[in-house]
């Protein structure tokens, strides 16, 4: 059995379009889930407003302990039962955002809670307002600490978008399946597409690591 790599190479543009789609989906989902994650994290850190705390905690725990694929199915196949219909791409973006926001909430919460209590006390004692405290003291430190973890989460979202192939969202994995159905060059196509994913992963993780080392790592940080 001779392997013939001409099929994926000839369809390079088509596959690259899929990779671009994958990246777009990832960036959009990551951005939306970051916003939702901030809200969830704030609700999870204030036990004073107990109903909000309870709702956000329940949400985060439910999402983090059930598979993303089941969540995608629930939104795309389950909700039409109640008359709520989404197109595949809408359902995909909503499901992945719902999924990822729970993880983002935990990452943000851990980042803020990892800041030593003395930092809060010190900023209060020099008379900073609550907003200033957050803006100049807490946020920069929390950001530095969370950045590498958030970077890993971003890569996880890239991988999760491949699940949307099941809804026929035309991202990279879906295009590999379509191409396979047309040409039957199965192994070559899937190996090639795995390679594209790896290159994507490599570029993005290198970028994150470099940013972290170059701009964010602070060796003199006090804990």
Partner 1 sequence: MDWSVIYEYRHLLWSGFMVTCKLSVTAILLGTLTGIVISMAATGRLKWLKAPLAAYVQLFRGSPLLIQLFMFYFGLSYIGINIDVFEATALVFTLYSGAYIAEIFRAGIESVPKGQFEAAKALGFSYTLLMFKIILPQTLKIALPPLIGFYITLIKDTSIASVVGYAELLNQGKAIMNIAGKPFEILLSISLVYFIICYPLSLFVTWMERRIYIK
Under the rule (CB under 8 A), what is the footprint of partner 1? 1, 61-62, 64-71, 73-74, 77-82, 158-160, 162-163, 165-166, 173, 176-177, 180, 186-187, 190-191, 193-194, 197-198, 201-202, 205
Residue 35 vs 187, nearer CB to partner 1: 187
- Token pair of 189, please? 């196509």
Q: Percent helix, strand, coil in the chain (nearest 5)? A: 85, 0, 15
Q: Any idea what the Cα angle at residue 20 is, between residues 98 and 97, rounded to 5°?
A: 5
Residue 50 vs 82, nearer CB to partner 1: 82
Least separation, in Å, of the C-beta of 131 and partner 1? 30
3-class DSSP state for residue 184? Answer: coil
d(CA 208, CA 205): 5
Contact (CB, 8 A) for 159 and 2: no
3-class DSSP state for residue 6? Answer: helix
Least separation, in Å, of the C-beta of 192 and partner 1? 10
Residue 13 vs 65, nearer CB to partner 1: 65
Least separation, in Å, of the C-beta of 160 and partner 1? 8
Residue 97 vs 180, nearer CB to partner 1: 180
Contact (CB, 8 A) for 25 and 171: yes
Least separation, in Å, of the C-beta of 17 and partner 1? 17
Number of helices followed by number of strands (H, E) in the chain: 10, 0
Residue 81 vs 125, nearer CB to partner 1: 81
Least separation, in Å, of the C-beta of 67 and partner 1? 4
d(CA 88, CA 171): 12
Least separation, in Å, of the C-beta of 145 and partner 1? 15
Residue 100 vs 173, nearer CB to partner 1: 173
d(CA 156, CA 152): 6
CA distances to 164, 166, 189, 193 from 185, rounded to whole Å, are 22, 20, 6, 12
């Amino acid at each position: 059995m001779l392997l013939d790599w001409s099929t994926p190479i000839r369809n390079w543009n088509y596959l690259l379009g899929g990779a671009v789609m994958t990246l777009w989906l990832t960036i959009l989902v990551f951005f939306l889930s970051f916003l939702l994650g901030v809200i969830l994290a704030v609700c999870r850190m204030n036990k004073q407003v107990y109903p909000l705390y309870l709702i956000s905690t329940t949400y985060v725990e439910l999402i983090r302990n059930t598979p993303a694929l089941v969540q995608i199915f629930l939104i795309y196949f389950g909700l039409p039962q109640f008359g709520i219909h989404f197109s595949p791409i809408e359902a995909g973006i909503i499901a992945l955002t719902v999924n990822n926001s729970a993880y983002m909430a935990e990452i943000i919460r851990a980042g803020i809670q990892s800041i030593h209590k003395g930092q809060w006390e010190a900023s209060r004692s020099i008379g900073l307002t609550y907003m200033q405290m957050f803006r100049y003291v807490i946020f920069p430190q929390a950001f530095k600490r969370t950045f590498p973890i958030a970077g890993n989460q971003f890569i996880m979202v890239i991988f999760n978008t491949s699940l949307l192939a099941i809804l026929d969202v035309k991202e990279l994995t879906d295009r590999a399946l379509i191409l396979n159905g047309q040409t039957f060059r199965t192994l070559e196509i899937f190996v090639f597409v795995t390679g594209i994913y790896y290159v994507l992963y490599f570029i993005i993780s290198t970028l994150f690591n470099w940013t972290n080392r170059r701009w964010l790592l602070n060796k003199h940080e006090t804990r």
